[in-house]
Structure 1
Amino acid sequence: MYVDEIMRTNLITVSPDTTLVAARDLLNNKKIEHLLVTDKDQKLIGIVSDRDIRQNWASPATTLSTHELHYLLDKITVKMIMVKTVISVPVSTTVERAAFIMRQHDIKCLPVMRDDKLVGIITSGDVMGVLLDAIGLGDGQGEDSTRLSVFVRDRIGSLARITSLLSQAGINIQSMLFWALPGHPGILQMVIRVSVSDRDQAMKALAAGGVTAKNYYTEDLTPFLPKD
């Protein structure tokens, strides 16, 4: 999946001369966390977040009167506090690459560019939505599903073996993810979602193939780790 499939295109932008008060009001009214700053030619020149505004807002402990405070805040403009070195991505960027970039730079959004034109924005919330969809817990999903964890060796055929056991039992896999199990080199944890009505049959089918599935929390994973 690429960022242009999930990016938001109804962009809310401000000019660099927008006051801090106006920027805060816009964030609150639109219920967003970032404002893209563009020049008169609609070229992206900066970005300002709700965190930037909070950091530059007056402390509640200030001794200034309300009138004095608003007078001073009206003198602060977006160009004084915005991040000028904006990290952006092209529309051809994969969602997982965008997530990596956000984590690497400790940021929560990425403007999306087509050539040199600003065409969208993707946020950490958008990426989280993709993850939830992938594991079958997006909007309208997951109401009739349950989670099974299976631990397998990181080698050719492990995935095929698990899916074959479930397929032969007539179990439909709604979603599947897997990752390296921390503290257990060479072991992968597979998280499989099946319908609630198929759970017991799925666990029996896996057990018949020598695989013990986990469907509850426990710190001791020993009984579930592969023996071969």
Structure 2
Amino acid sequence: MSIANIMTRRNRLVTTLADASLATLHDVFAKSRFQHVPVIDSSNRLIGIVSVKDYFRVLSPVMDSATDPAIGIFIRSRKVHQVMVSPVITGTETTSVKQAAALLLKHNIGCLPVIDEQKHLLGLVSWKDIMRAALGKSGSGT
């Protein structure tokens, strides 16, 4: 089975731009089920990814000693490109679920963005999607 059958499609993902502030990620990670936010350019090409772990890793040094207003200033002044992972390990719609699982394990990552030949973002497969597929469960999510 290919990951095209289990991925969360682009229209259901939250994405961001590299020049957006970290404040744009705050609500995504605080209020949604998403653990990963793909970073795209103006042509919908994948250029990076930010996980909730990446986000909190950047915030952790200031969270212990800063006030809430100072944290707000910090996340509004930092840009996504300063914390995103790039280049990104990716798959294509023809990547098998087994190959995707192997990539997640090999690179110790939690998701695999799915792109086309021009690096346009088509979707995302998380380890949860792969586990659901292994267990024969339906439904996708990141």
User: Fold-level match, TM-score > 0.5?
Assistant: yes
TM tier, smaller: 0.7 to 0.9
**Shift in CA distance, 108/49, structure 1 to aligned 2, threshold 3 Å:** same
Q: For 1:55-134, what aligned pairs fall within 5 Å after superposition?
A: 55-59=57-61, 60-62=63-65, 64-116=66-118, 117-133=120-136
Q: Over the residues paired in the alignment, what is the CA RMSD in angstroms?
A: 1.4
For structure 2, list consecutive stretches of 5 or more residues without a partner in the other structure: none
For structure 1, list consecutive stretches of 5 or more residues without a partner in the other structure: 140-228
Residues 24, 50 of structure 1: 8 Å contact kept: no
**Greater relative contact order, per chain length (Cα 8 Å cut-off, separation 6+):** 2
Given the two structures, how large is their TM-score scaled by the length of structure 2? 0.87
SS of alignment partner, residue 90 of structure 1? coil
Tell me how many residue pairs correspond in the alignment. 134
SS of alignment partner, residue 103 of structure 1? helix
Residue aligning to 1:8: 8
Cα offset, 1:11, TM superposition? 2.4
Provide the identity percentage.
Answer: 28
Give yes or no for the alignment of 1:18 onto 2:20.
yes
Deviations 1:116-135 (A, max 9, x none): 222111000000001111xx
Given the two structures, how large is their TM-score scaled by the length of structure 1? 0.56
Deviations 1:169-216 (A, max 9, x none): xxxxxxxxxxxxxxxxxxxxxxxxxxxxxxxxxxxxxxxxxxxxxxxx
More helix by share: 2
Query: Of the two, which has the highest radius of gyration?
Result: 1
Looking at structure 2, the residues matched to 67 and 118 of structure 1 have their Cα atoms a distance apart, in angstroms, of 35
Looking at structure 1, the residues matched to 113 and 71 of structure 2 have their Cα atoms a distance apart, in angstroms, of 33
More strand by share: 1
